[in-house]
Amino acid sequence: MDDSFFTSGISRHIWETKYRYRSGRNIYDRSIEDTWYRVARALADTEARDRESWAGSFYNVLQGFRFLPGGRIQAGAGTRRHVTLFNCFVMGTIEDSMESIFEALKEGALTMQQGGGVGYDFSTLRPRGVEAHGVGTVASGPVSFMRIWDSMCDTVLSTGARRGAMMATLRCDHPDIEHFIEAKHAKGQLRHFNLSVLVSDAFMDALNADQEWPLVFPAGQLDGARGGQEGEVVSRRWPGFDEPVPCRVLRRVRARDLWAKIMRATYDYAEPGVLFIDQINRMNNLGYRERISATNPCGEIPLPPYGACDLGSVNLTRYVVHPFTDRAHLDMDDIRQTVATATRMLDNVIDISHFPLEAQRVQAKGSRRIGLGVTGLGDTLIMLGIKYDSAPAQALAASVMRTVCHTAYHTSIELAREKGVFPFFDKDKYLQGEFIKGLPEDIRQGIADHGIRNSHLTAIAPTGTISLLANNVSSGLEPVFAYQFRRRVLELDGSFTDHQLTDFAYHLWRSIHGNKPLPDAFIDAHTVNPKTHLEIQAALQPYVDSAISKTINVPPNYDFEGFKDLYQAAYAKGLKGCTTFRANPVTGAILDSGEQYTESPHCCSPDREAD
């Protein structure tokens, strides 16, 4: 077996346990090259002509981990398994009835069984204490039903399913919002869920003005004295309804008190995260036909009901020329060529993938969403001699993502000329989208003339596992966590093993320069100011039509008032969401660079994220 592409044991281990194609005693992928050939051939099979040529082009960008398709693609493409190649889904709207709730539960189980992470908006479920329609019982609230999902996830995982990540969202004006905020404070609760609060512009206005905030629920869904017949009514857009509906005000809270509860929970427990839902919908390329209220498990793909996205990341470390020298630079032409090929590859995924549900197939083929991003930024900056916490780092990162975005859009226009536009395309409405209006004139003119193949093209995922596969490059947009550290890695049988890991750039420096002192560009996540994390995310957001999964590392002793300011700054900068992690005795540490570590309860850990 040729191990020359692996420079670390963890990389080979990830390939062996997650992506190598085998069935019982039959081993089909004898080497990582076989895996690349398998994926390349499978994605080229949908081409109407020149299949062998396209298979060669696809192999070339896969070779050496230059382009990293999402984990479901690498594990499933070209195999005989009846699995989805899509990393993540948002499930259908949960109607407020027992029948609908358990139908949604079944759909989630079927989706996770095939390997997809799932997201749900639980805002449609009545709050605790409200009388249930027609049966005289009292509703137990969204959080109680989330526990059923959590148990289901445990059961599905016990059958050997590969994924277990889920996202739960709840509106900031739902009467059970405080219960949702505190849902994971007790140890072991909802451990398969990530939680995010859907924060509206109206709430942020009330927060800034120090006003009271109404907690509401659709009046037509309520019975009894607390519900449909008495009290103040306001109009709200609500999931499951095409138009604003009358909502009963059940109580009011001070906006700043509610915000403080969200912030304190996030400070102490790393959850819930915050999704700025109006910004998400305002910048949605398909805002003319869909309303979003949930995301995939790690938050980089806001999706409508039954929406799905296939992901892939350009490994920037493979495009650094003359690393650690005065001549170090990125080969931007090579990046452009890879992005063009990768866009076509991800588009082809849509046509060869299985789907757990027919509704998911309809959404995926109707929009043809893809999520192309980057990984290895932290290591790349080090190899270029640029400190992560500097203005040049932000400028370079923005330049790279601008190149990725514009190249992907140009490619999608050419694909539309060759293969046709996505079925949900409405030229006039699409061109009026806020994100589309911010693209260069030649791209907008190309869309006007020829249409476009994919409704959305860019997203930045956390890439924890596929970055480990690529010889432990830094994940996504994150700085290097540490140069040498240990990680507990999940095995196929559910057990954990310890691995000593060495960062890609650190390993490369030592292989070239031995024990010479590290250059100043070698900084890690523990030394980066939280505000710098925010600036990097903000620098790239203008070139990301979906969203960005970015964890802002916060030191344990970081001041709470400063911590709260991070989220308001994220909103002011037009970000679609914000996630922080502050290691403390409650949260533990995701990874550990010392002699001891604890397993993180946070659901975005690399063993469970949907990549």
Residue 298: Cβ within 10 Å count: 32
Q: Give CA 572 to chain center in angstroms.
A: 21
Determine whether 393 is exposed, middle or buried from the number of CB atoms within 10 Å of its CB (0-12, 13-18, 19+).
buried
Q: Which residues of 495-532 are buried (b: 16+ CB within 10 A; e: fewer)?
A: eeeebebbbbbbbbbeeeeeeeeeeebbbbbeebebeb
- Residues 507, 525: Cα–Cα separation, whole Å: 17
List active site positions.
Answer: 296, 298, 300
Q: Identify each DSSP E strand in 460-555 by its residue range.
A: 484-490, 496-502, 551-554
CA distance 10 to 337: 29
CA distance 489 to 496: 5
Residues 6+ apart with CB under 8 A from 277: 171, 198, 199, 200, 292, 293
Give kind and range of the element (H or E) at residue 199: strand 193-199
- As a whole number of angstroms, the distance between CA 471 and CA 12 comes to 8
In the block, residue with structure tokens 């999608």: 412
**In whole angstroms, what is the distance from residue 116 CA to residue 161 CA?**
9
Separation between Cα atoms, residue 598 and residue 590, nearest integer Å: 8
Nearest residue to 317 via CA among 305, 299, 335, 333: 335
Name the one residue in this structure whose structure tokens are 């650190």: 506
Pairing of strands 26-27, 22-23: antiparallel
Task: Give buried/exposed letters for 155-165 (b at 16+ CB in 10 A, else e).
Answer: ebbeeebbbbb
Task: Enumerate the β-bridge partners of residue 254.
Answer: 212
Provide the token pair at 443. 């791209």
Q: Which residues contact 112 (CB under 8 A, 6 or more apart)?
A: 118, 153, 156, 161, 163, 164, 166
Burial class (CB in 10 A: 0-12, 13-18, 19+), 147: middle
Residue 548 burial by CB count (10 A; 0-12/13-18/19+): exposed, middle or buried? buried
DSSP 366-387: HH--EEEEEE-HHHHHHHTT--
Residues in a beta bridge with 88:
117, 309
